[in-house]
Every structure is written in C-alpha cells, then in structure tokens.
Structure 1
Amino acid sequence: MYQIDAFTHERFKGNPAAVVPLDRWLSDAQMQAIAAENNLSETAFFVREADGAFHIRWFSPLAEIDFCGHATLASAFVIIEQRIAAAPLTFRAAAVGDIGVVRRADGLLEMSFPNRAPEPVAEPPQALLDALNLAPECVLRNRQAWFVVYSSEEQVRAAAPDLQALKVLAPLDVVVTAPGSQQDFTSRYFWPANGGDEDPVTGSIHAGLVPYWAARLGKSSLVALQASRRSGLLYCRVEDDRVFVAGAVVQYLQGQIEI
C-alpha cells in the first residue's frame, strides 16, 4: 500500500489517499474494511485489464464511491513511479467511464474527466438552506453535490454548515464556492453522509466547478484553490465535453497490508 498526498508539492498538505495495487480483486467486504482501517478520504484499488487499462474502485471509510479524483491522481503516480506502466494511462470506472492521465511538460499529472456542469436550482431544499450559516448567492446541483455559490473567498472560508443536518441531503454532498482572491475560484467540500466531515481536496467535484466558473469568468483555463485546513491547488481547463484537472503529488508512505 502507498499513501500519497495529492494536489500538493508538500507532505502533510493536499488530500491523502491510500493506493492498493492488486493482481486480482479482493472481496468488497475486505476492500471496505481496509478503507475503514486507513480512515482516509479514499482508498483506491486497481487491477490491470487485458487491454492495458486499469479498472479502479474507490472506497471512503463508509462506502464505495462512484468518482474520486485525488485517489486517481495518486494511483497514476504509483503506477508511473513503480514502473507498473508508463504514461499516458487509462483508468476505467463503472460510473465514470474512462479517465485518461498524462504527465504534462511541467511535471504535473493531468486527468481527463467527463464534463458534469451543474444546473441552477430555482428552489433549493430548505434542509440545505437551514444547514448553512451564511445565505448563498445562488444554488446549483449536479449528480454529485449541491453547489452553494458565495460572492467572496472569505465567505467560503467562514462557512460552517451544520454537518449533521447535511446528512439528510444524501446521496448528494455539498460544495461551497466563490471567486478566489489569488486563484480563479475557491471551494470547500462537505460530505458527512458519504465519507467524512470535510474533504481536504476534491478532484471529482471540479468536473462541475470548472465548467461553471469557466462560463462565469469567460476563460477556459483556471487555477482553483480548495481552502480546507490542508488546502490544495488544482490546474484546470475545459475542452468541449471534457474537464481536465492537473495537480502535483508527493509520496508519504509505502507499506504492506496483512489480511
């Protein structure tokens, strides 16, 4: 098992993910138990398929997750650094399809996601509004989360939603977002129903955040800050029906699991 800090150049920042390369699948119960034992946002497991692609699955401490960006970035790093395969790579996930990963000229690893732009919501659920400590500018949603839009980064940093109340919104999570003070936009991600209180850096939600902010700001390439306690930077762009999210990674741990 490898533990990788994703979307950062510094250890103890970004989002830590566990990566477990497999020759064959463990049982679902075993993978969930390993993820719970790790107690990280996600543990990624992958098996190489006959065509060279890597079938990937992600588990939070609570459940299997449909889509995870930072653990995919971490898995790509392990595959390349351990010489399992060379970039470009293809990951295959049941709910997302193929995710391509390339190494950019600047050394960052860049993932290709489906475009999951959120849609405006005329009447947000009262449970969401009641759980927020600050009234939003507007609310949108996609298949993953409610998008709560504020006018300033300071409001995003000050957000303190009632996490217990957010659980009633399951299976959707909640992302709060605003224009950035130094980057193009900033966000924080809360998911008490699916994984934990606040996710440090969430690659997958940028499949929705990037097209929203690209349209609002009138630009196709953006830099994003996820303003959690650990924080992380994501380098993003939109091309047609794909969203590209790049970041740095650094290894923290290499170990062996006994089951």
Structure 2
Amino acid sequence: MKLKIYQIDAFTNKVFKGNYAGVIILEEWLSTELMQQIATENNLSETAFAFKNAQNIYEIRWFSPMTEIDFCGHATLATAFVLFKENASFEKVIFTAKAVGDLSVEKLDSGYIQMTFPNRKPKVIDSIPKELLSGLSITPNEVLHNQQAYFAVFSNEEDIYSIDVNLEELKKLAPYDVVITSKSKEYDFISRYFWPANGGDEDPVTGSIHTGLAPYWADKLNKNELIAHQASKRGGLLKCKVLEEKVIISGQAVLYLEGYITI
C-alpha cells in the first residue's frame, strides 16, 4: 500500500521555521495502531490523518510520535494548507474531531489560513503542583490550568528565553503539558510549550494552546486582537482574535516535502 504524504511547516512563511507536520489524506480510515506507527516513523511533532465523510466534512486525527493527541492546531493548519493546495476551488474546510467538535478553516486573500477554535480560557489554580515548581528554574508569578496544560505566567519577558526546565519533573504532570508565557515588547505576548508526557521535549509552535493563551492575554491587555510569538528555536507567528466562545487563530504555512510512503 502506498500513501501520499506531505510535510508542511506551519505558522511560518519560510521552510525550516515554524512547526512541522505530516499530512495524509485518506480514502478510508487506517487502524489506530498503523496510524501511530506511521507517526512514530515520521518523528514529526504531529502527523495528521484526514478522511472526507459522507457529509463532506473532514474527520481529522492527530498523532505525535508517542500518542494520539486530542487537539492540534498546527497540524490542522497544515492539513488545510494541503487541501487548499490540491483543490483550488476550496475556500473553506470543516474538520471534525471527537474532543473539540467541528473546526472551521478558511483561506484568506492575504495568504493566511484562518481557523476557528473553541475558547479554552484557563483558570487560576489555588494549589500549584510541586512538580511544576521543581520543573522550572524560575518561579512563575501566576499559574493557571485548562484541559490541556498548566500555564505558568512570568512578568519578565527574558525569563521565557532563559528559563531551564526539568523535563523529568514536568513529565510527572501527565496528562497535562506546560506552557510558559509573558507579555512582550515586540509582540503582544510570547510563550514556550513543553510536552514530555505526550510528544517530546519542546514543541516548536503550538496552535492549540493559543486557544487558552489568547483569552488570558486578551483580558490582561484589554484587547481582543493579538499577535503572538512562540519563542522556540524555530519560532512561529500567530494572529489571534478572541470572541466569547471562540478563538480565531490565523497563520501561514509552506510546503517542505511531498511524496509517498510504502506500507
């Protein structure tokens, strides 16, 4: 069996930047075991598998090299990029996923791809896990939590770049990941994302976590349109708009590779 595969760099307009994702558009679902094996072999942040159902909606699933992921923004962006590239008439795509429901994605004239996601605003927690504090070399000013991760907030932008993390300690927070964030001089806010329990060490750019970051910073900065930068080595730029129940995240993407895998 041969499957066509694309490798896309998401949340960037340059190859070797942003976050990499494999994309495979299926004619029928593969077994979960086989999809995980493919994702492990690819060894990318995520590999997305999409299948168009009878309602012309694309069911989508995301796999890290380690496990299936409930929600992945950059691989959704990458998959939409592939569908728009291969279908010139497409202006909008609807994805559906078990954990997050329907996701509307549109192609904009600016070259950006706009994704409408659920608002997953985090809440302040009273008791900070000791593993989080021992896993970060600098103590955060505030810690919040949503269904995806712990949010460690810092007042000094330089802390985001200089902080050391103990991944073995952060892994103990499973199934939750950890994002560190601060206000920024050049952007509205910056962040870094660590997910040793679910995918690897540091994720280059994480679209899904901005459904929590953007609402948090929208309240703090008193504005609902924000520019975000994920401050990993590869880096990525995200445009965010916060609505009452939705967060609209826009980004660019570029093709790095297309070819076939043989199973």
Residue 84 of structure 2 corresponds to 80
Cα distance change on mapping 1:56 and 1:84 into 2, 3 Å: farther
Matched, 1:236 2:247: no
Q: How does 1:192-207 map to 2 (within 5 A)?
A: 192-207=196-211
Q: Answer yes or no: is 1:177 the counterpart of 2:181.
A: yes
Q: Counterpart of 1:160 in 2: which secondary structure?
A: coil
Q: Which of 25, 43, 47 is residue 47 of structure 2 equivalent to?
A: 43
1:7 equivalent in alignment to 2:11: yes
The alpha-carbon deviation at position 85 of structure 1 amounts to 6.3
The residue correspondences of 1:129-148 to structure 2 (distance < 5 A) are 129-148=133-152
Partner of 1:128: 132
Structure 1 unaligned runs (5+)?
A: none
| 2:127 counterpart letter in structure 1 | E
Query: Is the contact between residue 39 and residue 61 of structure 1 (CA under 8 Å) also seen in structure 2?
Result: yes
Q: Is contact 2:22-2:47 (8 Å) kept? A: yes
> What is the alpha-carbon distance in structure 1 between the residues aligned to residue 89 and residue 16 of structure 2?
27
CA RMSD between the two structures: 0.9
The runs of 4+ residues in structure 1 deviating greater than 6 Å are: none
Matched AA of 2:172: V
- Normalised TM-score (structure 1): 0.99
Residue number in structure 2 paired with 1:188: 192
Match of 2:262 in 1: 258
Scaled by the length of structure 2, the TM-score of the pair is 0.97
- Say which of 35, 44, 52 aligns to 2:56: 52
What is the aligned partner in structure 2 of residue 26 from structure 1?
30
Amino acid at match of 2:22: A
Could you tell me how far 1:181 is from its partner in structure 2? 2.0
Contact 2:84–2:107 (Cα < 8 Å) also in 1: no
Q: Which residue of 1 aligns with 2:218?
A: 214
Alignment counterpart, residue 118 of structure 1, candidates 116, 122, 125: 122
Distance 2:48 2:232 in 1: 22
Count the aligned residue pairs. Answer: 259
- Separation (CA, whole Å) in 2 of partners of 1:242 and 1:152: 29
How far is the alpha carbon of 1:109 from its aligned partner?
0.1
Map of 1:62 onto structure 2? 66
Segment drifting more, 195-204 vs 151-160: 151-160
Q: Does the CA contact (< 8 Å) of 1:79 and 1:85 recur in 2?
A: no
Deviation string 1:71-126 (CA, Å, 9 cap, x unpaired) is 00000000110118612110000000011001223120010010000000121111
In the alignment, the residues of structure 2 paired with residue 108 and residue 84 of structure 1 have an alpha-carbon distance, to the nearest angstrom, of 15
Deviations 1:129-148 (A, max 9, x none): 11110010100000000000
Separation of aligned partners in 1, 2:244 and 2:216: 13
Q: Secondary structure at the match of 1:256?
A: strand
The 1-side partners of 2:109 and 2:226 are apart by 17
Structure 2 counterpart of 1:185, which letter? F
Give the letter aligned to residue 216 of structure 1: K
Structure 2 alignment gaps of length 5 or more = none
Distance 1:147 1:247, change over 3 A: same
